[in-house]
Amino acid sequence: MLLDTAALYFRAFYGLPDSLRAPDGTPVNAVRGLLDMIARLVTDFRPTELIACWDDDWRPQWRVDLIPSYKTHRVAEVVDAGPDVEVVPDPLSVQVPIIVDTLTALGIPIVGKPGYEADDIIGTLAATATTPVDVVTGDRDLFQVVDDARDVRVIYTARGMSKLEIVTDAVVQAKYGVRAAQYADFAAMRGDASDGLPGVPGVGEKTAALLLAEFGDLDGIVAAANDLRVRLSASVRLKLRTAADYLTRAPAVVAVARDLELPAVDARIGIPDGGHEEIARLGSVWGLGESVSRVVTALDRAAAEASRQTE
């Protein structure tokens, strides 16, 4: 199970009241919400391995170089020598170090890589996995990693934890009229205002899906737009040719990395030696209440079940 960690703790932060606070007054709604999510996910989906994928760089410069508008509206401060500072509410920012500490105590490895987003970590781990993979995210861009043949699916959280959606190839096809393997090209054409991707003006989801059905991928679509022998409406041809420069750059921005060199981690579920004491201490210091007992129970049960299966 691969967690799109920031997406989950943002959801927890906005989904739970900021009246949830530590004894010293520090807000802990995102921490408690994330721990409860993990407890629920482990209990319901019974993974044997769990990784918290991390945004070491939420807006990589190489993506900005290709599409300057990429996530521009979410920049709080431009940093010349490192990742730009993202707009994050102060009550959430103070909780991120606590989240790191709790995940560490629970034995959940945090994996990131300088210059890359959590999506790229997920893409690489999903592509190189030798076991079935569940990706937990509210970001539909990660539909591109879905692969029924390799048992890679997305547990989609956009409608909340009480309405989780299991996304497979068939679900992507039913929702958008494209195969999961075509989703990145589809998203590049459609665009995404939340990521600052303009898309091809005048080409919406329906037209993008029809073009992919006929020509297979973005390269085929661009080639068709430049070949007058190919039957294509004049208006669509003009839109594609007008957006030619964007279409040469956007695919690399939208597509997640699949081949990063990542550190080897032991992702087997199991609270490490001293972890029970440390998470209990953190729970007391930060007033995490029953969220700690729920996540500990879920992880201990999962570890015991995995141990029985290997005996």
Which pLDDT tens digit goes with each residue over 114-133? 999 999 999 999 999 999 99
pLDDT value, residue 311: 64
Query: Rounded to a whole number, what is the distance in angstroms from the first to the last CA of the chain?
Result: 22
**CA-CA-CA-CA torsion sign (63, 65, 67, 68):** positive
User: What would the pLDDT profile of 271-301 be if each residue is shown by its tens digit?
Assistant: 999 999 999 999 999 999 999 999 999 999 9
Q: CA distances (Å), 114 to each of 54, 61, 75, 77, in order?
A: 10, 11, 18, 18
Among 29, 35, 30, CA closest to 298: 35
- What sign has the CA pseudo-torsion 200, 201, 205, 207? negative
What confidence score (pLDDT) does residue 229 get?
Answer: 84
Please identify every stretch of the chain with a pLDDT value under 70, giving residue numbers as ranges. 76-82, 84-85, 311
Residue 171's Cβ-count burial label (10 Å; 0-12, 13-18, 19+) is middle
| Residue in this structure with the two tokens 């407890």, named with its chain if needed | 39
What pLDDT is recorded for position 89? 85
Residue 74 confidence (pLDDT)? 82
> Token pair 């993974």 is at which residue?
47
Token couple for 199:
């898309």
For 88-173, strand residue ranges (E) read 110-111, 133-137, 152-156, 165-167
**Interstrand relation of 85-86 and 110-111 (parallel, antiparallel or unpaired):** unpaired
